[in-house]
Structure 1
Amino acid sequence: MQPMRRESPYPMVPVDEAQRIITAHAAPLAGEEIDALWAEGRVLAEDVLAAEALPDVPKAAVDGYALRAADGQAARRVLGELTAGGGEQLAVGPGQAARIMTGAPLPPGADAVIMVEQTEERDGVVQVRQALRAGDSVHTVGQDIAPGALVLAAGTALGPADIGLLATIGRVRVRVWRRPVVAVLATGDEVYEPGAQIGAGAIRDSNRYALLAAAREAGCEAISLGIARDDAEVQRQAILAGLARADVLITSGGVSMGTRDLVKPLLAELGTVHFGRVAFKPGKPTTFATVERAGAAPALVFGLPGFPVSSLVSFEVFVRPALRRLQGDARPERARARVALAEPIAAPPDRPEYQRAIVSWEGGRLVARSTGAQGSSRLLSLRGANALLLVPGDGQVYPAGAELDALLTGPLVQY
């Protein structure tokens, strides 16, 4: 058993410095080509350009009549009907019109479309109730997308509209960044599976399952490494197993100053510890390391605290942006907003704190409410939270109505 340490060998780095260090080691993984029509959630590794104009021919923007604007409001003889996929052939001359459906190609001779609501047809003759100009209610060639136009840029996280765009321009294969594989390891003699019978002082392993879910939400493939007891060789083998299977290893617990906190010494033995403490609450012992691997990029390792809230908050602040960067996301950070406090908040005197909050839109501004007691072990403080409130470590009391920055981690709440 190692002796109790009285002082950490790792200097305490500011949050922004810790984030800068991680960013320097979180380059996108290799690209791969996949089915574009099932690529939602993936991040483009290439610019997608349009091969052709959209629309490719002038088309009706509304249901109505295709006609010549120069004929004014004179009555027109209706030649027939054009539908979007019908393939009908006709040409519109002076004093003529064609009934036309939305999306149908404009017939030769016509230069405008009038809405059916602005006409009256009787006995094959349509009366126009409104003067027109050439181009009215017509989608022109290339109006939506010009040939060679940038449709989607590399770094775009693909959503439903993006999949629709890829289908629209006929892209059925697309190059994306590979998703990181993230392995999660829990540590501790006191930690047991959630379904196990436990004795006094033992705890159920909430961290590993919460972190696995968080990694999946961030777009990664997540694998569980189980629980490693407080034995240096057991944890060494578990860490090595994770490094062999994953791009990123996340450990839970074992990073503080106790005699059974083995993770930091093991990471220092196996790789390079870039920082071992961060000046923020909750999660001061958060650790970041890299481990070289033969034939592969260095693995990123995050040693997160054992307290459930500290673990998840540290994940949000440090791990999630790195996972998004590994996927090539051009915007890996959570959105940040200025919010007004619904009630006073007392800032800690020494370190900035990321307090759990519920942010809503009220009275024309964003308002933040605390989720209650902010203890590191109280996982309920994260339940329902949609933001992390950035409280400076200046010891001040911020009154109701004061404004602070917040990371928005979920949808806004409506009251």
Structure 2
Amino acid sequence: MDFVTMLCIVSERQRAMPNTTIQTAPSCFDSIDPTSLSLVQAQQHILAACPPLTQSIKRPLRDALGHILAQDIISPIQVPNHVNSAMDGYALRGEDLPNAATKNFELVGIAFAGKPFEGICGANQCVRIMTGAPMPAGTDTVVIQEQVEQLDAHAIRIGTGHRAGQNIRQAGEDIALNSVLLQAGRRLNPADLGILASIGIGEVSVYRPLRVAFFSTGDELRSIGETLAAGEVYDSNRYALYGLLKRLNFDVLDMGVVKDDPDLLEQTLKNAAANADVVLTSGGVSVGEADYIKAILNKLGQIHFWKIAIKPGRPLAMGQLDQATFFGLPGNPVAVMVTFLQLVQPALLKMAGETHPQPLLMDAICQSRLKKQPGRTEFQRGILSRTAQGQLIVEKTGYQGSGILSSMSQANCLIVLPDERDTVQAGEIVQVQPFNW
């Protein structure tokens, strides 16, 4: 029997053997699940179902950092409110500048930022001027002090190479009178506090902070300080979610760990919904026998969906509990953080009044081989850095399992691999989402 004939016989025997693979439903191991929503579809559904808050409060300027403006800020003044010097030097008339030789000027006075020169600067005269001081009458140009020769207490000499109008700031060139300085929906940052102070505003109208109640579910979870028995783990999800929520300046209500008891879960969900705008849970939204959240939510409210074509984080529930919006995240620690960042955080920011809730993406050169199959959007953890030549590069943080929380701690970004993409080779361009914590 030759080799080709032997291969044909083996092939026929294999085709005759029964298929012993069993699969009764799509699972998280499938690259394509026709019953799942794409990431874009999920984001669109979630954002459409999350109306923004309308309640606003007044905050003193120093207490407004991180809050979201509820009204446009209209400037009541112009900044600067006068033409002033941008440098320390000498103010003079631009038409008097020398063109072909040095020229002497009579020094007739001095101007400070808080004490302007009151006289008039005439032809071939100059005024010693400090940064920020109003330009003296008759002047329109400043020659910096490093380019001036001091002859004596009453005279200086200037050479060529200057132009009329140099080194001055025009009135209103930073902020114009009655201009929209900051728009509603903006999260106030440190620079915003400074610019508000520069126009004399000491109090602003901001949206009240979003109230978010959250808890973890599972009989296996223990709190810090408790002794672990076989099969038990410390609850890390609540601490990660606490950090994710607090950095967004939300009011948070930590409701602890809730056992896999339907009655207890139902009562906790009712209490959370009565005290918060958003209820957030981790665990209990997959197909396990002890995963009760989905069934209880169907009883108490309305569920929107619970399977999304992403990795990690396929199971996710979203619905309404009375007046509260509900998000049920998966239980694995990395999946909790990824689904929060991609799906929950933009929705919470929109609810809180922010007008630009989507994360920043940028391109980087991948330094690692990233294994992937088309069908789902994947978020691998990466370390973003810059080469000596200024190029952005990223490499993965090792093993990418959804339970490897250290991969999130070591990372400073997510590597975003769209659903249609397959394995990435080192040297290819990928998109990354930097962490902003």
1:47 aligns with 2:72: yes
Structure 1: segments with no counterpart, 5+ residues: 1-5, 294-298
Q: Percent identity?
A: 35
Q: Which moved more, 1:380-389 or 1:270-279?
A: 380-389
Distance 2:394 2:140 in 1: 55
Q: Which amino acid aligns with 1:191?
A: L
State the match for 1:351 in structure 2.
Answer: 376
Cα separation, partners in 2 of 1:109 and 1:180, compared to 1, 3 Å: same
In the alignment, which residue of structure 1 is the partner of 2:393? 367
Q: 1:196 and 1:55, CA in 2 relative to 1: closer, same or farther beyond 3 A?
A: same
Query: Does residue 258 of structure 2 align to residue 258 of structure 1?
Result: no
CA distance in 2, matches of 1:94, 1:157: 51
Q: 1:202, 1:147 → 2: CA distance?
A: 63
For 1:340, the equivalent position in structure 2 comes to 365
Whether 2:347 is the aligned partner of 1:322: answer yes
1:107, distance to aligned residue in structure 2 (A) = 1.4
Residue identity matched to 2:394: A
Residue 43 (structure 2) aligned to one of 19, 31, 48: 19
Q: Which residue of 2 aligns with 1:223?
A: 253
Matched-pair contact (CA < 8 Å) for 2:366–2:395 = yes
Scaled by the length of structure 2, what TM-score is found? Answer: 0.86
Pair 1:80 & 2:105 matched: no
TM-score (norm. length: structure 1): 0.90
**Aligned AA (2:77):** E
Contact 1:302 1:319 in 2 (8 A): yes
1:101 aligns with 2:130: yes
Alpha carbons 2:116, 2:136 under 8 Å: kept: no
- How far 1:33 sits from its partner (Å)? 2.3
Q: 1:159 aligns with which of 186, 189, 209?
A: 189
Q: Are the aligned partners of 2:273 and 2:322 in contact in 1 as well (CA < 8 Å)? A: no
The alignment status of 1:172 with 2:202, answered yes or no, reads: yes
Matches within 5 A, 1:2-151: 11-30=35-54, 31-73=56-98, 74-121=103-150, 122-130=152-160, 132-151=162-181
CA distance in 2, matches of 1:127, 1:55: 30
Q: Is the 8 A contact 2:211 2:276 kept in 1?
A: yes
Corresponding position of 1:296: none
CA spacing shift, 1:123–1:285, aligned 2, 3 Å: closer
The answer (yes or no) to whether the contact 1:347–1:392 under 8 Å persists in 2 is no
Task: Check whether the contact 1:219–1:324 (CA below 8 A) recurs between aligned residues.
Answer: no
Corresponding position: 1:198 with 2:222: no
- Give the SS at the match of 2:315: coil
- Counterpart CA distance in 2 for 1:206 and 1:310 is 12
Gaps of 5+ in 2: 1-23, 27-33
For residues 85 and 394 of structure 1, what CA distance do their matches in structure 2 show?
Answer: 63
- 8 Å CA contact retained: 1:35, 1:173: yes
Q: Is residue 215–residue 281 contact of structure 2 (8 Å, CA) maintained in 1?
A: yes
Equivalent residue pairs, number: 400
Q: Which amino acid aligns with 2:125?
A: Q
Report Cα offsets for 1:332-354 as digits up to 9, x if no partner: 11111233321222213653321
Q: Which is higher, the Rg of structure 1 or of structure 2?
A: 2
Residues 92 and 336 (structure 1), Cα distance of their counterparts in 2 relative to 1, 3 Å cut: same
Question: In the aligned structure 1, how far is the partner of 2:83 from the partner of 2:421?
Answer: 66
Report the alpha carbon displacement of residue 153 of structure 1 after superposing the two structures with TM. Answer: 2.0
- Aligned runs of 1:204-283 on 2, under 5 Å? 204-283=234-313
Distance apart, 1:393 and its partner CA:
5.0
Q: For residues 257-296 of structure 1, give each alpha carbon's deviation from its aligned partner in whole angstroms, at most 9, with x where no partner exists.
A: 1221111111111111110111221111111112233xxx
For residues 209 and 131 of structure 1, do their structure 2 counterparts lie closer, same or farther at Cα, with a shift above 3 Å needed?
A: closer
Contact 1:59 / 1:104 at 8 angstroms: preserved in 2?
Answer: yes
Q: How far 1:396 sits from its partner (Å)?
A: 3.7
Instruction: Tell me, in whole angstroms, the C-alpha distance in 2 between the residues paired with 1:80 and 1:50.
Output: 34
Q: 1:342 to 1:51 in 2, by over 3 A?
A: same
Q: Rate the CA distance shift 1:366–1:136 in 2: closer, same or farther, 3 A.
A: closer
